[in-house]
Amino acid sequence: MAQDPAEYYRGLTALYGDAIQRSDFKANIVMFFMSIILGPVMGSLNRFPPFLTTPVVMTPFLVVFFCLFVTLVPRYPRRGAANLLISRTASPEHFQFDGDPQTEVRELQLRCAVLSDILYWKTICLRIAFSISLTGVVAATTLVLYYGLVAKS
């Protein structure tokens, strides 16, 4: 049995919405843990090697926070604005159904395209933030091991 195109796009829209909520949850968790890590790092700046100044140490944190902030910022695109009314003075007349199934399918396709674009940029920002975080952990581990071994020699 063939699936109704409108049902297909409704399901796809729901999947995009769930994926966007999951990416927001991931960004919130990482932002929470990064803020917990930042305090002890800043508190032990005097124990760092002389070439690790405050701006050098803070730069990865700031880039990660910026990427996570961009991930969490809601986006209301101009594309599809006629189909997705956001107004303080909305009335029932603004939401009239014209009964044409093709119009509904086109609107759902546009909504899927908008959500896909939002999810794409959220994913890019999350990947950048996660990559910088993991690289920072590896760099910090390397520095701790190197200076721990040099200090013991």
- pTM here? 0.75
Q: In whole angstroms, what is the distance from residue 102 CA to residue 107 CA?
A: 9
Number of domains in the chain: 1
| Residue located via tokens 């809601």 | 74
Is residue 148 one of the residues assigned to a domain? Answer: yes
Is residue 35 one of the residues assigned to a domain? Answer: yes
Tens of pLDDT, residue by residue over 103-134, are 788 888 888 888 898 899 999 999 999 999 89
Tens of pLDDT, residue by residue over 13-26, are 999 999 999 999 99
Tens of pLDDT, residue by residue over 82-109, are 566 667 787 777 777 667 778 788 888 8
For 133, the domain range is 8-74+110-152
Helices (H), the chain: 5-43, 54-72, 101-152
Is residue 120 one of the residues assigned to a domain? Answer: yes
